[in-house]
Each structure stands twice: as structure tokens, then as C-alpha cells.
A and B are shown apart, each in its own frame.
Chain A
Amino acid sequence: MRKKDVPQDAGTLGPWHQVRYAVADDGSYELVPSAGWDVVDTANAEAWADIRERAESALERVRKGELSPLAFHMVVRLMDDSILAGYAGLARWRVRRHLKPKVFAKLPQRILIKYAQALGLSPEELCRVPERVAPLPGEKDRA
């Protein structure tokens, strides 16, 4: 990549820059700051769209009583059952079981607190789901 080709597309990185190794006119390598690249933004947007889709489907299934609220909070924190199990300090099979509404409803406060801490919520928030999926951190303005 030549120095003049280092992409300067502001987007995902916000105020930050990436350093790129690029070739100057005399053929030597230099470090050049880049504001970002639209190609990466596209790939990122695809990933966040995927997360939104999963969050919306989880929300719907919580409403229908097919999944516990835990399933929704897990998806919006970009976690899967094994990552959540790690943070909550529980076995993965137990996390999977707790995704069932009937099992979740009977959980003692002690376990709810573990999940709440792992997800950065209060135990009350953990047992509710919002009306809509709030904008995710990586999404551009959806207005």
C-alpha cells in the first residue's frame, strides 16, 4: 500500500486512528495514521446487524414464554452460554437450563445476583426485558 492510498474514512474508530505501514515515494516503509476504512465499516455493520437480529428474535421468544429474560440480556452483551457461564462462575449446562423460563422463575436470589453482576444489571433488571432492543454500541444512528 502506498502512503497516498492509506484510507482515511472516518467511521467506526471515532476519534481514534489506526497506524498503517505504507510505502513512501522513495520505496521505504513509513508509519501512517489512518482514520479508518469503509470496507471494515461494512463488515462491522454486518456483524452488528447480525447481533440485532439475534437480540430481536430472543426478545420475541422471551415474550412468547419460550426463553427466560436471561437469554435476551446475554445476546445484547454479545455473550454466548459459555462466556456467560465463565462470568457467572457457573457450569455451562446450568446456564443452558436457566434459559428455560420455568427454571429461571424458580432461581434463588443467590444465583440471580451472580447473573446480574456478570451482565452489569440489577437483579430486578435481569428479570425484565425492555419494550424494544435499544441501539447497540456499534450501530450507526438508526433514526
Chain B
Amino acid sequence: MIDFAHRHSAHCESGATANLLAHHGMPLSEAMAFGIGAGLFFGHFPMVKVAGLPLTTFRNFVGGIFSRVTKRLGVRMSQRRFRSEDKGMAALDEVLGQGIPVGLQAGVYWLPYFPPALRHHFNAHNLVVYGKQDGEYLVSDPNLDVAMSISAQDLVRARFAKGPLAPKGRMYWVRSAPANVDLRGPAVQGLVEVARRMTFLPVPLIGTRGMRFLARRMRCWPEWYGQRGAARHMAQLIRMQEEIGTGGAGFRFIFAAFLQETAGLLAEPRLTELSASFTAAGDAWRDLALMGARLCKGRAGQGESYVAAADLLEGLAGREDRLFREIRAMAPQLQAKAR
């Protein structure tokens, strides 16, 4: 069995990444992994349906954090996908046999230890397997308080779950990590990448433009879908935003923690102020979820409506737009400091 330190994390992929690297002697906080991996994202895609409702995503593509962090830190890693379940499990056993913990992409629906209410067909979950004992695999799931074990049969199902974002047995592991790394350069790279992505891309569905786009649509929800349909859309948004660490507010807070850590690394007090601004933005996202939940229940207070919620979201888009643009303007100065 591999001596693997389980750390409970807010987000599965940044948690799995940080824990895998920590195992290879690179002490990295989850927030740092999230920031360097440019995990923050926003996209609203009405044409992509999840359970019949539009997809809103607050995170990047699955696998993106791990691959960006390892690339930026000069870590050698491996990654494989499989067509055959048997080959996928044999490869897992082989890497475990070498004493290396393995990150896996998994479908949440088949993880028996997961809270039943949250077991949907969501296939972009990440966890770490670090050994085999009495025929069960030892699992460090970053979203859970403690490490778990899972039968081979359940693990096969989770690894080869079908449907959107099917993991196809994807596994990834660290081959070797450099002894001393300077986090400053990679942190600035991640920071600037997120700022660019959120404000620069000329696509109206993503970044702060995407937030405005969602706000415009939210205004019309009751008219388009009726009370019940609007409540469903709102519930879907809240779940994507807040469930199990993935989410709008949660991600703002992780991002703020990353900014705080980077401010210390670079001795740049302005980043500490920006960190506080993102904390405030995260709080506003939570206000939005709170208002949304009351709208779902039909218990809206005074001044609460879909229009008011949309106004709040639009205000947030404006606020985050200014913050990310400021980061972009600071980029040359930060890059110089990181050298």
C-alpha cells in the first residue's frame, strides 16, 4: 500500500492535482493548483442540455487543471485512456504496483460512497487511487472528509461510465517532479490566463460576456417557461454553482485564496486587495443563489424576482469584468516581478 496523504479539498480536480504533487514531494496548496491550472471559467450554453436544462459551467474542461499545472511546473506526467475495461484495470494495477498513486476521471453515479442525493450522471469527477487491499481499491476522493475503499466492480463502472464527458477509463499520474520549483512564474501565467479568458474572447457565451448573456435570458425565464419552468432553470443554475465545491461562489473563494497566496509570493499588495474584491464577488454569487432558492420555493421576499436576480448577476458581470481587466493591465508588471 502506498503511504498517501488524503487532503479534503473544495474542488475535485485541483484537490487531486495538489494531493498527487504533494505525494511526489512538491508541497502545493489546492488554491495554488487551482490558480496555476487556471481552473476558473464561466460559460452558459442554452443549446447544450443537461437533464433537459441549459448547461452553465463555472469550471474548465476536465483534465485541464492537471495538465496545465504539470506543464507549468515542469512535472513529468503520463495520461492514458482505454477502450477495454480489462486493459484499463490492468494498467491501473501496474502503476499502483510501482508504488505510484493514480488520478482517475470517474462518473459520480457509480460511486457507492457518494451522498445519494448528489449521484447524478456527472462524468467529470476526479479521484485518486492509492492502493489495493482485500480486493478493494483504496480511494482518496478529494471531496470527502476521509479516504474510502471501493470494490473493483464499482470502480470499473465509474471509470467506464457512459454519456456526456465519458471518462473512457482516463488515468493520470506523476512520473517525476522537480525538487525545487519557483511558483511565482506559473502563478502569474495562470492568473493572466484566467483574466484573459474571462474578458478577452469574442464569444458571447463565455467569460463576463456569458454572465451578461445569462442575465438577459434569466429576465425572460418566467415569460418563456412559466413559473415552474423558471424555477427549474434557477434550481439547475444553483446546483451547478454550489454543489460539492464546484461552483460560482466556491470558485471565487478558491481564486481569492490563490490571489492571497500569490500576493505573498510576489510581495504585491495590490493582489491582496484584488483577493478581497473576489471574496466580495463570491459573496454576491451566494446572494444570487439565496435569492434564487427563494424564487424556486415561491417564497420571494420584497424586491425579489427573476428580474432582480438578473440585475444582481449583471452587476456581478460588470464588477468581475473590471477586476479581470485590471489583472490584465497588471500582467507585464507581474511578469517582471516573477522573473
Chain A residues engaging chain B, CB cutoff 8 angstroms? 1, 12-14, 16-23, 27-29, 31, 33, 37-40, 42-44, 46-48, 50, 78-80, 82-83, 86-87, 137-138
**B:254-288 near A, CB below 8 Å:** 254, 256-257, 260, 275-276, 279, 282-283, 286
Instruction: Determine whether the beta carbon of A19 is less than 8 Å from that of B253.
Output: no
Pick the contact of B282: A1, A13, A86 (CB < 8 A).
A1
Given contacts A16-B145, A19-B245, A46-B296, contact A138 B250 (CB under 8 A): no
Instruction: Determine whether the beta carbon of A138 is less than 8 Å from that of B117.
Output: yes
Please indicate the chain A residues that have their CB under 8 angstroms from the CB of B279 in the complex.
1, 23
**B:84-143 near A, CB below 8 Å:** 109, 115-121, 143
Query: Cβ of B31 < 8 Å from any Cβ of A?
Result: yes
Given contacts A14-B115, A42-B296, A78-B120, contact A20 B242 (CB under 8 A): no
Query: Cβ of B339 < 8 Å from any Cβ of A?
Result: no
Q: Interface code B141-155, partner A: CB below 8 Å = 1, 0 otherwise?
A: 001110000000000
Instruction: Determine whether the beta carbon of B235 is less than 8 Å from that of A47.
Output: yes
User: Closest chain A residue to B240 by CB distance?
Assistant: A43
Instruction: Determine whether the beta carbon of A44 is less than 8 Å from that of B239.
Output: yes
A48 to chain B, nearest CB (A): 7
Please indicate the chain B residues that have their CB under 8 angstroms from the CB of A14 in the complex.
115-116
A139 to B203 alpha-carbon distance, docked (Å): 39
Instruction: Determine whether the beta carbon of A12 is less than 8 Å from that of B245.
Output: no
A119 to chain B, nearest CB (A): 12
Instruction: Determine whether the beta carbon of B145 is less than 8 Å from that of A17.
Output: yes
User: Closest chain A residue to B162 by CB distance?
Assistant: A86
Instruction: Determine whether the beta carbon of A43 is less than 8 Å from that of B239.
Output: yes
Please indicate the chain A residues that have their CB under 8 angstroms from the CB of B120 in the complex.
78
Please indicate the chain A residues that have their CB under 8 angstroms from the CB of B236 in the complex.
43, 47
Please indicate the chain B residues that have their CB under 8 angstroms from the CB of A42 in the complex.
235, 238, 293, 296-297
Please indicate the chain B residues that have their CB under 8 angstroms from the CB of A22 in the complex.
253
**B:1-36 near A, CB below 8 Å:** 8-10, 31
Please indicate the chain A residues that have their CB under 8 angstroms from the CB of B303 in the complex.
none
- Besides A1-B282, A39-B292, A44-B243, 6 more A-B contacts (Cβ < 8 Å) are A18-B10, A21-B31, A21-B253, A37-B242, A47-B235, A82-B163
Query: Cβ of B310 < 8 Å from any Cβ of A?
Result: no
Please indicate the chain B residues that have their CB under 8 angstroms from the CB of A19 in the complex.
8-10, 245
Given contacts A13-B115, A83-B163, contact A29 B253 (CB under 8 A): yes
Please indicate the chain B residues that have their CB under 8 angstroms from the CB of A39 in the complex.
238, 242, 286, 289-290, 292-293
User: Closest chain A residue to B146 by CB distance?
Assistant: A16
A77 to chain B, nearest CB (A): 8
Q: Can you name 25 A-B pairs with beta carbons within 8 Å?
A: A1-B253, A1-B279, A1-B286, A16-B144, A17-B8, A17-B145, A19-B8, A19-B9, A21-B254, A21-B257, A29-B253, A39-B286, A39-B292, A43-B289, A44-B243, A47-B236, A78-B51, A79-B121, A80-B52, A82-B163, A86-B166, A87-B163, A138-B116, A138-B118, A138-B119
